[in-house]
Chain A
Amino acid sequence: MSDSIEMMSEEEQVGSRVNGPARPETLLNIERVRVPDDGRPIDRPVKLASKHLSLWYGPKQALSDVSLEIRNYEITALIGPSGCGKSTFLRAFNRMNDLIPNVRITGQVLLDGEDVYGRRVDVVELRRRVGMVFQKPNPFPKSVFENVAYAPRLSGVKNMGRLTEIVEKALERAALFEEVKDVLHKSALALSGGQQQRLCIARALAAEPEVLLMDEPCSALDPISTLRIEELMRELAKSICIVIVTHNMQQAARVSDRTGFFLLGELIEFGSTDDIFTRPADSRTEDYITGRFG
């Protein structure tokens, strides 16, 4: 008897998983697109880490004692309500916060174990290794080609053949080449929003970065363009490390391997995306992803 009851309940569970909202153990109704074996390295070493990182804008504290490890060949999503410090945290990795006056930082940020705020670190070199894509597509008012050639030119590539090679490869990697191959020398501002954002990704990829930081890269895009970029991210994660800030929880759940939840400058919870979205340890995480606040 007891056996058959258990079997029943298991069947029910399977059934409810297919049918949607009533399943008891998941908080969001999202199909994970990723299959476990997608050709990425199994061994995924720590690429980036923050240790007891705190950051102040003048007197205002924006990050409090954030420690977390980000692995290579993975997509790490940072979620949390507006103003909780996600962008600030992301920009700590390529030191874009340096540009803002009166910023004070304590703790460490490590890239392959090296402190990026170390005294002898060359910010230019750091930013070549850690690329960034911004919220609003921001291609330069130059041609498509010149946008992508920007970083290689900075690092001294002059040979036109070599440049063309790099540009085409970066556009291929950003899944944009087919769409723009006939307009390479036309203004990048004539592209659609989604194309512009992929161009910005290609522009970042042309510098051959090891890490790609993406700050709400889809928030200005339509759903189709968003999906294309998510697909692209999964493809790129086979070769680089990706950190994405998003306020779209579906996106975090769809695309990432690990998720960190920020609230008021603190890292509340960090774990595998499956765990965060199915059995969060902290009630505040649960409240946030079920839409009770934020």
Chain B
Amino acid sequence: MPLVDDATTVERAPARPLTAKRFRPFEALAENIIFAASTVSILGVFLIFVFVAREALPLLTSRQIQEEVTLSTLFTTRMWQPVGVEPKYSVIPLVIGTLKVTIVAILFATPLAIGGAIYTAEFAPRKVRELVKPVIEILAGFPSVVLGFIALMVLATFLQKITGVQSRLNAFVGGIAVGLAITPVIFTVVEDALTAIPKAFREASLALGATKAQTALSVVVPAAAPGIAAAIILGIGRGIGETMIVLMATGNAAIISWNPFDSTRTMAATIGQEMAEVVFGDAHYTVLFFIGVMLFAITFALNLTSHAFVRRITRKLGSLK
């Protein structure tokens, strides 16, 4: 009974009709600005791709250029020798060089970054974590020309002393330096993936009598696996696109060889090195842009895959957050 009394005596503002939608100027403005910003950035990326692709297009359409180089000769011949009486354009040595450097870089960076991230996220005392994380994030923004310089001057000499190889600058040296550059990238993404794993999993595991290490390895890391995969893929993408370091540290010889201790040349370094010297619109110019399209497509695909993995982790853990 008293409930009814209350309901009748309580003063209420008269109800507004549901359809009286209020105009909220700031919200509308913020929404529009955000929309405009994201549209511009997506459009920007799209336009860059269109531009690069357009410059590469004569490879498929221009008779004149096809006399020198075609899509199929790019992949079937074996020499990259764009300057000379009879220029030779084969991307094979460049693809192999890119692969070699990236493989060395990933093999070097992945264990380092993942191990470091697991330590930081799961074992380090809070003070250490609060120090290590920002420092490594700053390292991710370290100018790669400086890393390249260090690789060129210090690392190359050091590694040559150890391995006794002939060419001081080679895929291995470049790979290690690129690895150093992508370690912070992988570290950051892995660390984020690990810390995103709900505390409830760790508690459950510890309460079952697992040690911290067992908890990290059999619960946290598997739960974060998609994030770790995403990090590695992102790292590969960065490694493939890295230009300055490889330009400085790999010796830049476009030769077909799977030996990591031979000098080598990557796709990105080739563009970086030769783009400034080409004649606008000639075959060499077109081929360089075609390599650009390849790089763009590869990194785009890698990023998409990486995103798919990240989405998977959010879906997997969505119900528990």
Residues of chain A at the chain B interface (Cβ within 8 Å): 94, 96, 99, 101, 124-128, 131-132, 134, 136, 138-142, 150-151, 154-155, 189, 200, 203-204, 207
Which of chain B's residues has its CB closest to A98's CB? Answer: B206
Say whether B223 contacts A151, CB under 8 Å.
no
Partner of A141, one of B208, B210, B211, B223: B223
Asked if A124 meets B209 with Cβ closer than 8 Å, knowing A134-B204, A140-B219, the reply is: yes
Chain B residues whose CB sits within 8 angstroms of the CB of A203 once the complex forms: 204, 208
Contact residues of B between 65 and 81, Cβ < 8 Å to A: none
CB distance from A29 to the nearest CB of B (A): 21
What are 6 sample pairs from A and B whose C-beta atoms fall under 8 A apart?
A96-B206, A124-B210, A138-B320, A141-B222, A150-B205, A154-B208
| In the bound complex, CA of A153 to CA of B320 (Å) | 24
Chain B residues whose CB sits within 8 angstroms of the CB of A142 once the complex forms: 222
| In the bound complex, CA of A189 to CA of B223 (Å) | 12
| In the bound complex, CA of A279 to CA of B219 (Å) | 47
Partner of A128, one of B198, B203, B209, B319: B209
Residues of chain B at the chain A interface (Cβ within 8 Å): 126, 198, 200-201, 203-211, 214, 218-219, 222-223, 316-317, 319-320
Say whether B208 contacts A204, CB under 8 Å.
yes
Which of chain B's residues has its CB closest to A204's CB? Answer: B208
Say whether B207 contacts A140, CB under 8 Å.
no
Chain B residues whose CB sits within 8 angstroms of the CB of A189 once the complex forms: 316, 319-320
Partner of A94, one of B200, B201, B207, B219: B207
Chain B residues whose CB sits within 8 angstroms of the CB of A138 once the complex forms: 198, 200-201, 203-204, 320
CB distance from B108 to the nearest CB of A (A): 30
Say whether A154 contacts B204, CB under 8 Å.
no
| In the bound complex, CA of A203 to CA of B203 (Å) | 13
Top 8 A-B pairs, shortest CB-CB distance: A138-B200, A128-B209, A132-B207, A127-B209, A151-B208, A138-B204, A124-B209, A141-B223
Partner of B211, one of A124, A150, A155: A124
| In the bound complex, CA of A155 to CA of B208 (Å) | 10
Chain B residues whose CB sits within 8 angstroms of the CB of A136 once the complex forms: 200
**Beyond A140-B205, A141-B316, A203-B208, 12 additional pairs, beta carbon < 8 A:** A94-B207, A96-B206, A124-B209, A127-B208, A134-B203, A138-B201, A140-B201, A141-B320, A142-B222, A150-B205, A154-B208, A154-B210
Say whether B204 contacts A96, CB under 8 Å.
no
CB distance from B319 to the nearest CB of A (A): 6
Partner of B209, one of A101, A125, A139, A140: A125
CB distance from B38 to the nearest CB of A (A): 32
| In the bound complex, CA of A141 to CA of B205 (Å) | 12
Say whether A200 contacts B206, CB under 8 Å.
no
| In the bound complex, CA of A138 to CA of B319 (Å) | 10
CB distance from A45 to the nearest CB of B (A): 24
| In the bound complex, CA of A205 to CA of B218 (Å) | 19
Chain B residues whose CB sits within 8 angstroms of the CB of A154 once the complex forms: 208-210, 214
Chain B residues whose CB sits within 8 angstroms of the CB of A140 once the complex forms: 201, 204-205, 219, 223
Chain A residues whose CB sits within 8 angstroms of the CB of B206 once the complex forms: 96, 99, 127
Chain A residues whose CB sits within 8 angstroms of the CB of B209 once the complex forms: 124-128, 151, 154-155, 207
CB distance from B286 to the nearest CB of A (A): 50
Chain B residues whose CB sits within 8 angstroms of the CB of A132 once the complex forms: 207
Chain A residues whose CB sits within 8 angstroms of the CB of B200 once the complex forms: 134, 136, 138
Chain B residues whose CB sits within 8 angstroms of the CB of A134 once the complex forms: 200, 203-204, 207
Chain A residues whose CB sits within 8 angstroms of the CB of B204 once the complex forms: 134, 138-140, 200, 203
Chain B residues whose CB sits within 8 angstroms of the CB of A99 once the complex forms: 203, 206
Which of chain A's residues has its CB closest to B126's CB? Answer: A101
CB distance from B244 to the nearest CB of A (A): 40
Chain B residues whose CB sits within 8 angstroms of the CB of A128 once the complex forms: 208-209
CB distance from B309 to the nearest CB of A (A): 14
Say whether B201 contacts A207, CB under 8 Å.
no
CB distance from B315 to the nearest CB of A (A): 10
| In the bound complex, CA of A141 to CA of B207 (Å) | 17
